[in-house]
Structure 1
Amino acid sequence: MENGIFKRIKKDWVIYAMLFPAILYFSIFHIVPIIGMKLAFQDYRVIGDNVWVGLKHFNVLFSSPAFLDVIKNTVIISSMKMFFFFPVPVIMALMINELRNGPYRKYIQSVIYLPHFLSWVVIAGVWISLLSPVDGGINVIRGFFQLPSVDFMTSKDNIRWVLVFQEMWRSAGWDSIIYLAAIMKISPALYEAARIDGASTFQQMKFITLPQLMGTVVVVFILNLGFFMNAGFDQVFNMINDSVISVIDILDTYVYRIGIINGQYAYATAASLFKGVIGITLILSTHFIAKRFTGKGVW
């Protein structure tokens, strides 16, 4: 068995060499840090050995009103993104698949993929300018229709929606690639048979494309649930300000603030460990539920 593995590696060594940087990245930044999770059960000491304190930091964590507010914000923002954003890449892939003009299709795909390659710093700058209450494009349009100017960046009622639509603008096109690839694997014979039977384009989409796509949709949904408690650190960090911090301060920005800025490393590790446990629980529970009712899951 081991000889067979080494033979395959030797045969396809170029492919494994290309995979090595990704393996190295995940090993350094995702696997090795797991060892440091024991700090959540210790008091950190700059000099000398750390002192084992058991669940002390978790007790402080769950009794903190600030932490409970952060969890609430994280759940609300992630739920909004999951509910309003998740279907958009699927719809976008279905629409792109119906484009028959080759050059026009490539142009549309290039335009919707481009925002994914921009950093959140650039995206935040673009959106802050776009939403400016003085000369931002959105408020200029509102003014044209005699509507009052709105300062979206300091509005607690609007800032969460700004995060949702900003995420949608940046990632919907790129995420649609997964579904487009799944659509391309569907047998053309199914569409030919449907056309012979007189099925319209919408009927082909409803009775062929969508059912064939459901396996991919279920897997992506389960994997996305694993990142449910993330809510987008880079995005929130670049969009947050004192006026709206109470409604968009999420778990990751909270951990950054108490861990990196305030130096409470053990307390921040406890918060991160809590987030990881929730993520694993969501993935496993959703996988088994989906497996039972649809027969499809992550494995």
Structure 2
Amino acid sequence: MENVSAGQSAVPGTGPIGGPPIKKRTLKQRFVKNFKEYKWMYLMLIPGMLYYLCFKYLPMAGLVIAFKDYNIMKGIFGSPWVGFKHFEVIFSSHEFLILLRNTIVISVFKIIFGMVPDILLALILNEIGSRWFKRTIQTISYMPHFLSWVIIYGLALAFLAPADGLINEMLKFFGREPVDFLTSKSWFRPILYITEIWKEVGFGAIIYLAALTSIDPSLYEAAVVDGASRWRKIWHITLPGIRSVIILLLIIRMGNILDAGFGQVYIFLNARVYEVGDIIDTWVFRRGLEEMQFSFAAAVGFFKSVVGLIMVLGANRLAKKFDESGIW
């Protein structure tokens, strides 16, 4: 047995030889100490926790109406129980497969066209040496994020209107026939993608710019010493440095695979493009709110939540398989 040095106890937790035993802190004492030390940080968490409690968790109790024939006058508990009746209506509807296809196609392309331009803009801004020019471009690029889709539709109408839109005026100037972009099935989805990029690219790049600041500058210095070009530094240092952030945002977006952007689609949608533009959310709006079928709307929302959960779990597991950290 090793010798015990002077003033130390041979048994852990009993205190120094000749002194009183050390009292172990209870869970409550540790919590109180931790709370006192970080009280201001806990205080800052309260608004966010209240938001999620009031608008995310408490409304989950209302999902029970997806299994009832909900009547406003009878209330949630007084409405009769119908089981999976509304889910059978959803999956047996001849519209559902078309709506599901449109939703997934629009959402997937929005994920692709929503992430790639954000990353490219962040990389470009990161390579700009002039700080004032960088800030100016960044400010101009993320200002459209704060515009509503109604305003953006008005701008699109000014450019794309068949009679006097700017683009059609240019086509007529060059002897071409005007194109009715906003009611064309072949143009509807590209217009959605283009307006989405214009509106969100600047704001989305902020996250990647923040991630770029965490890359060790010594890596770039070492690359310069080794004679690496700017493209080599981007490919071997910058992109790997923000790879975890890209994976994280991709997983989050996969959870919203059935959210193709109700506000944008609803504003741009018209009867002539229903075949390619009608999505699950616009369908639910018509059936659930305009026709007062609240149980039907809740059933669709429940289905979307389950699909989103499966997509998040699958994407997170896939990320871990490729040695990425994932969300958890």
In structure 2, do the counterparts of structure 1 residues 203 and 10 end up closer, same or farther at CA, with 3 Å as the change threshold? same
Does 2:133 correspond to 1:104?
A: yes
Stretch deviating more after TM superposition (41-50 or 221-230): 41-50
- Higher relative contact order, structure no. (Cα contacts within 8 Å, ≥ 6 residues apart): 1
Identity among equivalent positions (%) equals 40
Stretch deviating more after TM superposition (96-105 or 84-93): 84-93
Aligned-residue offset at 1:9: 4.2
Does structure 1 conserve the Cα–Cα contact (< 8 Å) formed by 2:102 and 2:278?
A: yes
Q: Distance in 2 between matches of 1:238 and 1:13?
A: 45
Aligned-residue offset at 1:100: 0.5
Partner of 1:211: 240
Partner of 1:242: 271
1:238-282 Cα shifts (integer Å, max 9, x gaps): 111122223211111111111111011111111111111111100
How many residue pairs get aligned? The number is 299
* Equivalent position amino acid for 1:68 in 2: L
Aligned-residue offset at 1:3: 4.3
Partner of 2:221: 192
Does structure 1 conserve the Cα–Cα contact (< 8 Å) formed by 2:244 and 2:324?
A: no
Q: How does 1:114-129 map to 2 (within 5 A)?
A: 114-129=143-158
* Equivalent position amino acid for 1:250 in 2: I
Partner of 2:51: 25
In structure 2, do the counterparts of structure 1 residues 147 and 294 end up closer, same or farther at CA, with 3 Å as the change threshold? farther
Partner of 1:59: 88
Does structure 1 conserve the Cα–Cα contact (< 8 Å) formed by 2:114 and 2:200?
A: no
Structure 2, unaligned stretches of length 5 or more?
1-26
Q: Distance in 2 between matches of 1:119 and 1:292?
A: 40
Write 1 or 2 for the structure with the bigger share of helix.
1
Q: Distance in 2 between matches of 1:142 and 1:11?
A: 67
Partner of 2:71: 45
Aligned-residue offset at 1:8: 4.2
Q: TM-score, normalised by structure 2?
A: 0.86
Match of 2:251 among 222, 244, 247: 222
Partner of 1:260: 289
* Equivalent position amino acid for 1:97 in 2: N
* Equivalent position amino acid for 1:27 in 2: L
Does 2:257 correspond to 1:231?
A: no
Stretch deviating more after TM superposition (40-49 or 176-185): 40-49
Stretch deviating more after TM superposition (16-25 or 168-177): 16-25
Rg: which structure is higher? Answer: 2
Partner of 1:174: 203
Q: Distance in 2 between matches of 1:283 and 1:261?
A: 31
* Equivalent position amino acid for 1:208 in 2: I
The CA RMSD measured in Å over matched residues stands at 1.7
Q: Distance in 2 between matches of 1:215 and 1:153?
A: 38
